[in-house]
Amino acid sequence: MERRNVGILGATGMVGQRFIQLLANHPWFNITWLAASDRSAGKTYADACKWKLDTPLPKHIAQMIVQPNTPEASTTELPRIIFAALDADIARELEPKFAEAGCAVISNSSAFRMTLDVPLVIPEVNAGHLDLIERQATRKTSGGYIVTNPNCSAIGLVLALKPLEDRFGIDSLFVTTMQAISGAGYPGVPSLDILGNVVPFIKNEEEKMQEEVGKLLGSLDGSSVSPLPAKVSAHCNRVAVEDGHTECVSIKLRKPATYEQVIAAWEEFQPLSGKGLDGLHLPTAPLHPVEYDTAVDRPQPRLDRMRGNGMTSTVGRLRPCSIFDWKFVVLSHNTIRGAAGAALLNAEILAVLGKLDFRQFPPLKQPVQVAEAVVKA
């Protein structure tokens, strides 16, 4: 696989920092462009960003100049692949500009997740939905498009649901989340609001989960996705945990399943090495996207969030439910599998499927400074 240049839009935020961390030694992608808001543009990344992760900021990234957050204002060459880590309101304005310019915008934002011709994708779950790219207007002109990954709380849940839907069908489910404070970004939730406390409200979170589960597990029907006809009810809570979203799930299946059959569905779930996708070998994909832990008190965020390098969804405590059929607990890392890692995995499958090959489309317009340098050379 040839190495491709990529950019990060919203590079100074927590998800932007995760992108930098995960891409630092990636075999397929090379960071050449960083952009953020006007208050950061023109500064070195080290000066613009308060680095909050547990690995050092790479020296070459620290020295990069942060660009303005529009394609036409960039003073350095714009790459064709853009990882976007923007708030929804800002993404709604900026992401289409990059798609119009001819970029593949791989978005972590909720702005376009439910748009009919925009794929909402977890590669292990619904890679086939990427065909929606070809229906976007910008794809037919500049070659650009938008692809989204789901909400951080939906991803871990849907990874656990997909093998159950495939084997038994899902009639309805009830989920209560305990979501980490890193999901609110930095500086996030004030300490006096969260320490020793649970906040039983996260704006739009319950609605996102309920909508996105249906689209992710739905079927591609021509130019749109027919949502899974299952009932989903969600309660979302913010808790005093740094990283890792924990979810308690009760589920009613369409066909009966024994304890052993449910466990087998999770343990045998390896779609990226199975029929039709054999040989993808995506660098960020975990060998086991879902792992079941038999301990009576697992999963736990502190102990299990980094399974599969933060890309595995850990399930535990499967037991009968007196209202539905079964109940269990799911844990996933919200800023890796639930954000930057999810978008990176989407980029990897786009590369393998040839969706990052832009040779048939017009080249991107070069910034004036870059074009002048080429002429002088």
The two tokens of residue 45 are: 């990344």
SS (H, E, C) 160-194: HHHHHHHHHCEEEEEEEEEECHHHHCCCCCCHHHH
Q: Give the Cα separation of 79 and 103 in Å (integer).
A: 7
Question: Strand pairing of 326-332 and 313-320?
Answer: antiparallel
Q: Is 103 a catalytic residue?
A: no
Q: How far apart are CA 253 and CA 203, in angstroms?
A: 29
Indicate which residue of 103, 152, 236, 333 is catalytic: 152
Contact status, residue 214 vs residue 230, Cβ threshold 8 Å: yes
Q: Please state, as a whole number, how many other Cβ atoms lie within 10 Å of the Cβ of residue 27.
A: 9
Angle between helices 152-168 and 205-216 (to 10 degrees): 40
User: How far is the C-alpha of 350 from the C-alpha of 86, rounded, in Å?
Assistant: 21
Q: Which of 49, 129, 236, 245 is catalytic?
A: 245
79 Cβ contact partners less than 8 Å away, ≥ 6 residues apart: 4, 5, 6, 7, 32, 33, 103
Helices (H), 197-339: 205-216, 259-267, 301-304
Contacts of 45 (CB under 8 A, 6+ apart): 11, 12, 34, 57, 61, 62, 63, 64, 65, 66
Q: 245 an active-site residue? A: yes
Q: State the catalytic residues.
A: 152, 245
